[in-house]
Structure 1
C-alpha cells in the first residue's frame, strides 16, 4: 500500500490548496504546505506514531499533528472534508495548470462558472476571459500552453508513480496462495519517463484464483475486464493495470514479448523469420517441425536468435539489435556501480533533514563519498548567506570520515542567472569542493540566449556539473530551448559534466539527449538531488535514464573512485 507518509502529505497539500482557493489565510496555507513536504520526506513511518511523536517532525505543530492523528485513527480529516464541500473538485484541478494559481481559479469559477480544464479551454478560445481583471492576452496564452502540456501528458504518470503502484500490486499478488512468479513488464520495465498503463505477468497453479484476488486488491477501483488469462483493472488512482497469467513453460518468451517496445519486438520476430523460426509470447518455435526450442528463460530466447540478453532499458529499437549482432552492446552502468551522490540538500536551505541525517543515510547506502550542495543566495527564498555557507563547511570538515570512513564533500548548487553568471565570485567558489550550477528561472528565454547562458556556465572553471540541464518538470514544464549540440560540444571541451537528475519528475538530462551528449564525449553525474532522506532512493531512476542513454560506468563521474573524482573536480581550477 501507499506509505502513510505519502497519503498524509497529499492530504495536507490538498488542505493548503483549499485554504488558498477559499480565500483563507495565506500564511496558514504555507504552514500546511511546509508540513506536507516534511511529512512526505520524513524517513520514519508515521503510521506507528502518536500525536506527541508527530509533533517532533519538522513543521508539524499541535494542530497539524492532531489532524494527522485523526486521519491515522479514522481514515479522514473532518475539516478537510468540510473544505472539500465548499469547492467543486474541478476547481482544485484547475490549479494543476501551470501559471494558474488558486485565486484566479476561484475567480474563474465565480465569474464564469468554470469548473474544469475543458470548460476553461473552451472559455479562452471563445474570448470569454477578455473582460476579467488580470487575464490579459499573455495570461491566456500561458494558460493554453499549460493546458497543452497537460493534454500531452494525458493519463500518463511519471516513472516514480508507476513504479510505486506496480511494486505494491506485485508484492500483494506474490502473497496469494498458488502464485509462483509475478513481475511488472512493459514500458515500466524499460523504465520510460512516463507510464500509460502497467503490464504485470504471473504464473500460478490456479490462475482463476489469482485473477479473483487481483480484482479484490485494495488498490483496485474498477474492474475493466475479467478473464481466465488476462484481467484489466483501473486503480483507485486511475491507472490501468493488466495482469496476464502465462504458462510456466512460456515464462521467458512472455517476459521478452511483453517487455520490448513494439519496434524492438518486430525486429526480433524478423530475425526469427530469417532463421526459419517463429517467435511469440508462447515461445520460439521451429517453423518446419513446430518444435518449441526456447521459452522458459528470456536469455535462452535471445540466445537462440543469435543475440546476447539485451537489458530491458535498451529495448527500444534504437540500435541495440545491431550492436548486439556486432557484439558491441555496452556494459551499461548499474546502480551498484555508483560510489556516491554529488547533489543533495539539507535543512540549511530547502531540504528537510539535517546534514548529519543525510550523511548517515548516505553511509547506509554504502557510498564512499557524499556531497552536500545546498542552494546559493540568489535563490533568495532559501536565505543562504556567506556566513551560513562557511559555517556549514566547517561542520562538513568536522564530520568528514565520521560515517564509516565516507568522504564528505562541501559543495553548492549555484543559480545560472539570465546572463550566465552565478551567485558567488571566483574567490568564494574556490573554497567549495564542487559546484553544481542550474537554471532556476527565466525558462522561456529564446534559444540563442539560453544557449549562451549555458555556455557561460560551462566556461566557468569552478563549475564542474550542470544540474538538471533542461530544467524540465515532466507534465508541468517543458524543457528550455537551447542548441544542445553546441552545449554538448562545450561541455566536452571544458570538462563539465552534465547531470542526470534522478527525481522521477525531472529525469533530466533526458535519455535521448544523454545519448547525443555521450556521442560528443561528455561526462555525466547521476545525482539524487535529494531534499530528504527517502529521496536518496530515487537514484535508481537516474541510473535507468543513464542506461536508456547507453552510458557505461566510466562515463559517470560518481561511479569513479574517490581519487579520480577529486582530480576531476580540481582540474583546470585557477
Structure 2
C-alpha cells in the first residue's frame, strides 16, 4: 500500500523516463525527476493539498502541480498517457532492467526488434549485440547481470515500503476490540533489505473481527485464502500480506516461530531436543509429557533453552545460537544510541531543503551533533564552487555559534568524488578546512576489479578522507555494486583509520550486512548515515541501524554513536599522522 506521495512520485518519474526515451528536453526531464524526489520526500500527505499547497513543495511548479491535481482527481495524467502511447510497451519493459537507460532501450528495440526482457536475453546469447555500435562485450555482460537482478527481485519490495505497509495495517488492526498484541514477523522483522511478503500477527481470543477487517482494507485487491486463524490478501501493488491470529498465551512462541529464519528455528529445535523439549509455534513443551514450559513471551522461550533473547536481525544462523550459549552475543547498536548523522545534503547541491531547515529537523531528532556534507565540484551537475562551499561554512558556523547553549553541534563536511585513480576533489589545503570528509564513488562504475580496488584503497590513504560513503555504489534491484576486492579495501580502512559507511537509504543499504560482518573482522569502524536529501529522509537512519544490527555491530563500532569529543579525535587522527 504505497503512500500517496510515493504513488505520485512514481508517476512523475515515469513521465521523466518517457520523455528521456523520446529525446525530450533534458532540462524538463531533470525538472520532473527533481519533482518526483521532492514529492516522495515531502512530510505531508500530498493527496490532501490543493494546488497552492502543492506549489509550496520544492521543485513543484505550476505545470507539475496541475498534473498532480489531475492525477488525484482522475487517477491518470493525460500527458503521461500520451507519452506511453508513443512508446512501444516493449521499450518500457526493457527500461526495468538495471543498468539499461531509456535511450539505449529504445536503440535495442529499433535495431534488434526486441520487445521484452526475454527477447533481449536471447539476443545477447545469440551474439546479436556484437555488431551494434556502443554495445560491446562488457555491455552485454552488464545487461545479462541486470536481467538477473530483475529476475531475482521478482515481487520483492524494499524494506521501507514493506515497513510502512505493515505499520499502516497494524495500526488498523490494533484498534479492533479484543486485540491483545499485534506485530509483524518474518523477514521484515529480521529487517532484510527486501521483503517478498509480509507476515502479520495478532494475539486475540476471537479471530473473526480481525479477518473481516483485514480483507476489507482499502488497498486489498484480492483475497488469496481465508481461514479461521490465517488469511492472505494481495494488495493493489501486488504485495502479499499474511495475517495469523494467535491465542494470547501462545504469543511469544508464535512470534519467535514466524519471525524465523528457517535455519535459526532449526537450530533452536535441535537445542530443545537436547533439553528434552519440543518447540513449535504454539510453545515449548516437555517432549514426553507434552506439558507446556514456555510460550507467552519470546524471552521465556529463549531463557528456557539457556539463551539470552536474540534480537531478530541476528536470527540468520550466523553463529548467534552458539554465541548466545557462550555469553558472547553482542548488544547490537540501537537507533537511540546514535548521537548524530554524518552524511546529509541541502539545496546547495541536490538536496531539497535549505540548510536551516535540515539543521532544525535534525535537532528535533535529539541529535548531539549533525554534519552537512554537500557534494564537491567534480560531480559537475551540482555546480559546486569554492565560494559556495565557503559561504555555506560561514552560515553553518553562525548557526553553530548561535546554538552553543543548545544540545546539537554542527559539523561542516563534504561528500567528495573518488575519481578513477582514487583522487578526490580539492587540494589538501582546502580539504583541511572541513570538519570531516566523506568520499564516494559516483562514476566509472564499470572499471575492472583491480582498478576499482586500487581507487578505493588510494582514497582511504588520503589523510583528509574520514569515511568511504556507500562503498559499493549499489542500488538494490537496479544497479549492482562495483566489482572490487572488498577484503583489500577493508584492510586499507583498518590500516589508515578510515570508516566505512552504512548508507541508510532503503535503495542502497550499502554496505550490505554480509560485508559488514567481514569488515568488522578486519577491525574497521563504521558510520551509519542517512544520506538525506530531504527532511523526511533523515528518518531512514532506522534502516541503516537495522543493517548494522544484521552485521553484529555494537555502538562501540559506530562513529556516530560516540560522544563528540571521541568522534573529533578520530576525525583528526589521520591528519595528525600525515602532518
Per the normalisation by structure 2, the TM-score is: 0.94
SS in 1 for 2:324: helix
Displacement after TM superposition at 1:77 (Å): 2.4
CA distance in structure 2 between the aligned counterparts of 1:509 and 1:100, rounded to whole angstroms: 23
Question: What is the SS of the residue equivalent to 2:244?
Answer: strand
Deviations 1:313-346 (Å, cap 9, x if unpaired)? Answer: 1111111111111112111110000000000011
Structure 2 residue runs without a partner (length 5+): none
3-state secondary structure, aligned to 1:182: strand
| 1:503 Cα deviation from its structure 2 partner | 0.8
Q: 1:527 touches 1:539 (CA, 8 Å); kept in 2?
A: yes
- In structure 2, do the counterparts of structure 1 residues 441 and 559 end up closer, same or farther at CA, with 3 Å as the change threshold? same
Is 2:99–2:146's contact at 8 Å kept on the other side of the alignment? yes
What displacement does 1:112 show? 5.4
Partner of 1:486: 488
Report deviation, 1:472: 1.5
Matched, 1:154 2:129: no
- Note the residue ranges of structure 1 that are not aligned, 5 or more in a row: none
Indicate the RMSD between aligned Cα atoms, in angstroms. Answer: 2.0
User: What CA distance in whole angstroms lies between the structure 1 residues aligned with 2:267 and 2:523?
Assistant: 29
Name the CA distance, whole Å, in 1 between partners of 2:569 and 2:112: 62
Q: Over residues 50-78 of structure 1, what are the superposed CA-to-partner deviations in whole Å (9 max), with x where a residue is unaligned?
A: 21232222221111111112223343323
1:239 and 1:350 mapped to 2: Cα distance?
32
Partner of 2:388: 388
Partners of 1:82 and 1:447 lie apart in 2 by 44
Q: Which residue of 1 aligns with 2:186?
A: 186
More displaced stretch, 234-243 vs 286-295: 234-243
Instruction: Provide the C-alpha distance between the structure 2 equivalents of 1:547 and 1:120, rounded to a whole number of angstroms.
Output: 39
State the match for 2:80 in structure 1.
80
Once the 2 structures are TM-superposed, how far is the Cα of residue 571 of structure 1 from its aligned partner?
A: 1.6
Does residue 315 of the first structure (1) align with residue 315 of the second (2)? yes
Q: Is the 8 A contact 1:330 1:552 kept in 2?
A: yes
* 8 Å contact from structure 1 (residues 401, 408) kept in 2: no
Aligned partners of 1:169 and 1:219 also within 8 Å: no
Give secondary structure in 1 for the equivalent of 2:465.
Answer: coil
- 2:504 aligns with 502
Partner of 2:206: 206
CA deviation after TM superposition for structure 1 residue 402, in Å: 4.2
Aligned to 1:140: 140
76-85 or 403-412: bigger deviation: 76-85
User: Equivalent residue of 1:400, what SS?
Assistant: helix
Deviations 1:173-212 (A, max 9, x none): 2234443322110111011122122111112343133223
Is 1:66 the counterpart of 2:32? The answer is no
Whole-angstrom distance in 2 between the partners of 1:116 and 1:221: 26
Equivalent positions of 1:265-344 (< 5 A) are 265-344=265-344
Whole-Å separation in 2 of the counterparts to 1:30 and 1:457: 30
**SS of equivalent residue, structure 2 residue 567:** helix
Correspondent of 1:563 among 565, 568, 575 = 565
Assess if the C-alpha contact under 8 Å between 2:474 and 2:508 holds in 1: yes
- SS of the equivalent of 1:436 reads strand
Q: Secondary structure at the match of 1:571?
A: helix
| Corresponding residue number in structure 1 for 2:235 | 235
Q: What's 1:467 paired with? A: 469
- Equivalenced residues, count: 574
2:438 aligned to which of 436, 439, 446: 436
Shift, 1:106, TM fit: 3.4
Distance in 2 (CA, whole Å) between partners of 1:538 and 1:302 is 31
CA distance in 1, matches of 2:52, 2:229: 50
Secondary structure at the residue paired with 2:63? helix
Cα 1:476–1:387, aligned 2, differ >3 Å: closer, same or farther?
same
Which of 547, 550, 558 lines up with 1:545 in the alignment? 547
Q: Note the C-alpha offset of 1:92.
A: 1.8
